[in-house]
Amino acid sequence: MDEPTHVTAVGAAPPLEVGPARSRSRDRSRARGRSRSSGLGRARGESPARGESPARHRARGEFPRGGTRERIQAIALELFAEQGYEKTSLREIAERLGVTKAALYYHFKSKEDIVRSFVEDYRAELEQVIAWGASQPRTPGTRAEILRRYSGIVSEQLAVIRFMEQNQAAMHSLMSDSGARKKMFRDQFMSLSDLITPPGAALADRIRATMAVVSIGMASLLFQREAASPEELHDVVLKVACDLADAGTS
């Protein structure tokens, strides 16, 4: 865990504008970050195209102006993927952003806090889908829409899901302070499965519904390098999930 850093400014968040590189080593670090981002999207700092959500740009490695919290999360995920969670410090995250550690500390007091923030964001998005699905009639069209919304979240949050899958020991430690929090994702998963299960379904149909939910996350992780584009992967994964759940569009 990073050592505490005292913040002198109180009452207003220090600006986290990504500034110019201050050393050759930072230049090299940023160059490595760009080369290891698999050529995803535009350069950091460019404004996103209109009509697309910030989460979708974050998933492609694009960091729009503004959205300080999302920018910090994206940079942290980038560094965790490059050199591992345990080997990444809060200071390195601040350096990649081009700000002081004290400025970053105003928003997140540790890298553990950053991880908790994007895990909680993912959880909140799932809760929105579950709440919407619970308010709808149990029809094939509703099942299709639930799967579409869930697959959209998975596509946008794939870096977060990959982090959780690759850092299970760290996740266990971070979430050990709350048994309810550890249980949360399992409950959400079961809620999604229940919502896309037809009323009075036989065991085989219930298993198909559960497999539909499983297939979205697993296939998105396992086949991301085999698809021609993230859009193609999303469309194929969604179609397979809808077929499993017998989720038509009418």
How many beta carbons lie within 10 A of that of residue 188, not counting itself? Answer: 18
Which carries the bigger pLDDT value, residue 244 or residue 174? Answer: 244
Angle at 205 between CA 200 and CA 210, to 5 degrees: 110
pLDDT digits (tens, 9 = 90+) for 137-195: 999 999 999 999 999 999 999 999 999 888 888 887 777 655 555 566 788 999 999 99
Which residues make Cβ contacts (< 8 Å) with residue 108, sequence separation at least 6?
72, 90, 114, 117
Q: List pLDDT tens digits, range 37-57.
A: 333 333 333 333 334 444 444
Interval 75-92 mean pLDDT = 93
The more confident residue out of 248 and 210 is 210
Q: In the prediction, which pLDDT does 69 show?
A: 87
Kindly tell me if the per-residue pLDDT of 93 is higher than 50.
Answer: yes
**100: which 2 tokens?**
């002081």
Residue 63 has a pLDDT of 40
Does residue 19 carry a pLDDT above 80? Answer: no
DSSP letters spanning 149-199: HHHHHHHHTHHHHHHHHH-HHHHHHHTTT-HHHHHHHHHHHHHHHHHTSPT
Q: Return mean pLDDT, the chain.
A: 76
**Sign of torsion, CA 221 147 145 133?**
negative
pLDDT reported for residue 8: 32
Contact 90, 51 (CB under 8 A): no
Integer Rg of the chain from CA: 20
Model pTM score: 0.69
Q: Is the pLDDT of residue 66 over 50?
A: no
Tokens (6 digits) for 25: 């080593």
Question: Nearest Cα to 190, choosing from 209, 216, 167?
Answer: 209
